[in-house]
């Protein structure tokens, strides 16, 4: 994603919204609301790029999900239409079309035009409302060139059309039908969005997730070619965990599944242990991914640790372990999904994705304690496997502690504490400093000569770093390249010691060759940052450099190209200036080392001309899936993934 400020209001270019002279105060308010959304779309949907665009679909789908949570709907159809619009259909109760006594307008029109009206309607017990969700269909409507709603209700079909949020006539009956439900079609406004093309894979990821989270729901996605995928998982979260661990070896025959209700809170949990060393816990409240966790996750951890610990003690399974187990020991190789449905969720935290309801913690804790101890009593063999895994984690924790002490002492011995290979910059205000992590000594040499040494530091790596997907903590700390990176960053390492505040650079820029090896090294580095320094990615500190792929030369003229299309259009235009007589020479850069220092500076490192890709994680569950596919043990899924995704890879962005 390029660096942009999506909070900038959208000025001018907006077509005037014609206002009939008979409009009263109510309507002026409505129009003010719509105009505000169009002036500051990022306030409502996050940004005006790909993320915000796809958010429009989620917003409409959320309304259908509300109907599902209320028990009124079991089917959602999402179509990416050839003209660029999107259609969402459900079989819920249908948006009411009767006239609101005070406002003198149909409920449908109010839902579609009054910003914030969505939440005021009683849509059932477990409303979706967290993070950016729940801004309502009216926001989607305001940001659409046009939007058409059909309601199937009371034997009739009702219809209303809107343009840039403004109704084009009242709702009217246009036919009869024995169906129930709502059909919304909208065309995202190209005056608002920088990107207006929907990506099927992004939509599919979220629809699959929603289908896992709502076992009674069937979701169909149709793409612009008319191809259809259906998501329906009767096993619910159990199948979700199997999907997450598709590329890992499970230790239990099947995930453990827990379901319980108490005081109108619904708790659903599935968990599995696998043969890796990471923990993957994904949590949801009313179908919203709670990235920052919250009380439901705290309740889960407490109950898991307590129940397993108590069982192990009681059955004398820890006798030859010389250490006491800690909460962390239960995390190694754990994959779990926690989904709660809460009537009045309180969202907190930086991104409003942390559940605050204190009662939810004890509800989750109680239900898990009860059901997991019951499960343990009747499945002693499964418990043996889990406790063995936990003991292994405890012993490796001890080994890691010793290894860490060694690295600490060693870094103290080195006079500056910085790795010898690092060519540091001269200023030391982190905000203005950049660290280039570069593949190989020759590219490192070019980068060192080409850089602006006042604020750019260069760290050349000696080839491939360790694949951290398969390594335990202490193995990682024995790896020279990893140690070098940690020392250069200055952040320290590990759950307790790591701190973004100690980061010595404002930008960490991965700069690798444009070949297969380069892509591999970049993936290894991203795996490391994602698994062990995720906070740096979330803080927007990690970037990928974009060296050009081609140099197109004709006589004295030369231009760089970043992809095949650009290369072709440059060479075409060179031919036309020189009337077809041009002698065009195209050089394909395979390695950074093929560029001289000046070229590397002017194309890739100079802040005035370079373009960097910011690495961000849209969906942690999907990112985990990609990394475990690419870096895990199983070969088949990796081959499938690469074949399926090759067409999305242009400049191999993330
Ligand atoms: C308000 C009230 C009722 C249903 C809905 C909204 C509703 C909204 C959407 C949006 C997409 N699909 C939807 N389905 C239903 C309840 C109406 C009743 O009591 O019959």
Q: Is any ligand 1 atom within 6 A of the Cβ of residue 309? A: no
Compute the distance from residue 92 Cα to the ligand 1 centre, in Å.
Answer: 7
State the Rg of the chain over Cα. 28
Q: Is any ligand 1 atom within 6 A of the Cβ of residue 185? A: no
* CA-proximal residue: ligand 1, atom 5 (nearest): 95
Residue whose entry in the numeric block shows the structure tokens 């960053």: 489
CATH topology of domain 237-403: Ribosomal Protein S5; domain 2 (3.30.230)
- What is the atom index within ligand 1 of the atom nearest the CA of 96? 17
What pTM did the predictor assign? 0.85
Which of the pair, 402 or 513, is modelled with greater confidence? 513
| Lowest model confidence (mean pLDDT) among 123-137, 397-411, 449-463 | 123-137
Buried b (16+ CB within 10 A) or exposed e, 164-191: bbbbeeebeeeeebeebbbbbbbbbbee
Q: Is the pLDDT of residue 301 over 60?
A: yes
Confidence of residue 465 (pLDDT cuts 50, 70, 90): confident
Mean pLDDT of 483-497: 86
Confidence of residue 473 (pLDDT cuts 50, 70, 90): confident
CATH 3.30.230.10 range(s) for the chain read 237-403
pLDDT tens digit sequence for 567-578: 999 999 888 887
CATH topology of domain 33-231: Heat Shock Protein 90 (3.30.565)
Q: Which pLDDT score is estimated for 2?
A: 38
Q: Is the pLDDT of residue 411 over 90?
A: no
Compute the distance from residue 67 Cα to the ligand 1 centre, in Å.
Answer: 7
C-alpha 45, offset from chain centre: 15
Residue by residue, DSSP assigns 385-434 as HHHHHHHHHHHHHHHHHHHHHHHHHHHHHSSSSS-TT-B--S---GGG-E
Judge whether 457 and 434 are in contact, CB under 8 Å. yes
Residue 562 corresponds to which tokens in the numbers above?
């970043």
**Mean pLDDT over all residues of the chain?**
89
pLDDT tens digit sequence for 194-251: 999 999 999 999 999 999 999 999 999 999 999 999 999 999 999 999 999 999 999 9
Q: Is any ligand 1 atom within 6 A of the Cβ of residue 93? A: yes
Q: Which residues are catalytic?
A: 439, 513, 515, 517
Mean pLDDT of 269-297: 95
Residue whose entry in the numeric block shows the structure tokens 């610990």: 309
CATH 3.40.50.670 range(s) for the chain read 411-547+614-648
Q: Is the pLDDT of residue 299 over 90?
A: yes
**Check whether domain 411-547+614-648 has CATH 2.70.70.10, yes or no:** no
pLDDT tens digit sequence for 9-19: 444 445 555 55
Q: Is any ligand 1 atom within 6 A of the Cβ of residue 106? A: no
pLDDT tens digit sequence for 344-398: 899 999 888 999 999 999 999 999 999 999 999 999 999 999 999 999 999 988 8
Confidence of residue 8 (pLDDT cuts 50, 70, 90): very low
CATH 3.30.565.10 range(s) for the chain read 33-231
Q: Is any ligand 1 atom within 6 A of the Cβ of residue 335? A: no
* CA-proximal residue: ligand 1, atom 10 (nearest): 63
Which of the pair, 634 or 250, is modelled with greater confidence? 250
């Amino acid at each position: 994603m390029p660096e942009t400020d999506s909070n900038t209001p959208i000025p001018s270019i907006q077509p005037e919204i014609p206002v009939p002279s008979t409009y009263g105060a109510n309507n002026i308010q409505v129009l003010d609301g719509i105009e505000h959304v169009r002036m500051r779309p990022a306030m409502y949907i996050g940004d005006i790029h790909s993320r915000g665009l796809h958010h429009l679909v989620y917003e409409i789908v959320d309304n259908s999900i509300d109907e599902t949570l209320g028990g009124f709907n079991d089917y959602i159809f999402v179509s990416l239409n050839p003209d660029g619009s999107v259609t969402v259909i459900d079989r819920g109760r249908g948006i009411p079309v009767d006239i609101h006594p005070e406002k003198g307008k149909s409920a449908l029109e109010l839902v579609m035009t009054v910003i914030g009206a969505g939440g005021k309607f009683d849509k059932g017990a477990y409303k979706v409302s967290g993070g950016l969700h729940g801004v309502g269909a009216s926001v989607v409507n305001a940001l659409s060139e046009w939007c058409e709603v059909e309601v199937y209700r009371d034997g009739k079909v009702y219809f209303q059309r809107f343009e840039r949020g403004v109704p084009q006539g009242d709702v009217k009956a246009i036919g009869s039908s024995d169906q129930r439900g709502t059909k919304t079609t909208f065309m995202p406004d190209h005056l608002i969005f920088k990107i207006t093309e929907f990506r099927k894979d992004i939509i599919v990821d979220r629809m699959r997730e929603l289908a896992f989270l709502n076992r009674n729901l069937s979701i169909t996605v149709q793409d612009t070619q008319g191809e259809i995928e259906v998501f329906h998982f009767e096993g619910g979260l159990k199948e979700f965990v199997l999907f997450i661990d598709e590329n890992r070896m499970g230790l239990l025959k099947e995930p453990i599944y827990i379901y319980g209700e108490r005081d109108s809170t619904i708790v659903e949990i599935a968990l599995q242990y696998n043969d890796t060393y990471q923990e993957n816990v994904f949590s949801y409240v009313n179908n919203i991914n709670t990235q920052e966790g919250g009380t439901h996750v705290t309740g889960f951890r407490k109950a898991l640790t307590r129940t397993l610990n108590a069982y192990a003690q009681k059955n004398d399974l820890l006798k030859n372990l010389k250490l006491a187990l800690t909460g962390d020991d239960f995390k190694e190789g754990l994959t779990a999904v926690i989904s709660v449905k809460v009537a009045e969720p309180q969202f907190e935290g930086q991104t409003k994705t942390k559940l605050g309801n204190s009662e939810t913690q004890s509800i989750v804790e109680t239900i898990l304690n009860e059901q997991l101890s019951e499960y343990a009593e009747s499945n002693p063999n499964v418990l043996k496997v889990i406790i063995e895994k936990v003991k292994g984690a405890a012993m490796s924790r001890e080994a890691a502690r010793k290894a860490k002490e060694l690295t600490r002492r060693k870094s103290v011995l080195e006079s500056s504490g910085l790795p010898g290979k690092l060519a540091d910059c001269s200023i030391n205000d982190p905000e203005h400093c950049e660290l280039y992590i570069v593949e190989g000594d020759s590219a490192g040499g070019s980068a060192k000569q080409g850089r602006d040494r006042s604020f750019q530091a260069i760290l050349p790596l000696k080839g491939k770093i360790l694949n951290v997907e398969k390594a335990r903590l202490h193995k990682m700390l024995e790896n020279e390249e990893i140690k070098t990176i940690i020392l250069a960053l200055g952040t320290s390492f590990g759950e307790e010691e790591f701190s973004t505040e100690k980061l010595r650079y404002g930008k960490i820029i991965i700069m690798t060759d444009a070949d297969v090896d380069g892509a591999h090294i970049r993936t290894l580095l991203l795996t490391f940052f994602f698994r062990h320094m995720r906070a740096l990615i979330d803080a927007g500190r990690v970037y990928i450099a974009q060296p050009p792929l081609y140099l197109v030369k004709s006589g004295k003229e030369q231009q760089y190209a970043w992809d095949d299309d650009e290369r072709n259009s440059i060479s075409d235009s060179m031919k036309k200036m020189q009337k077809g007589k041009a002698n065009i020479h195209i050089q394909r850069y395979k390695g950074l080392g093929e560029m001289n220092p000046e070229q590397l500076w002017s194309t890739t490192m100079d802040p005035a001309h370079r373009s960097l890709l910011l690495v961000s994680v849209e969906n942690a569950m999907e990112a985990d899936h990609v990394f475990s596919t690419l870096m895990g043990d199983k070969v088949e899924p990796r081959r499938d993934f690469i074949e399926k995704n090759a067409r999305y890879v242009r400049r191999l962005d993330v």
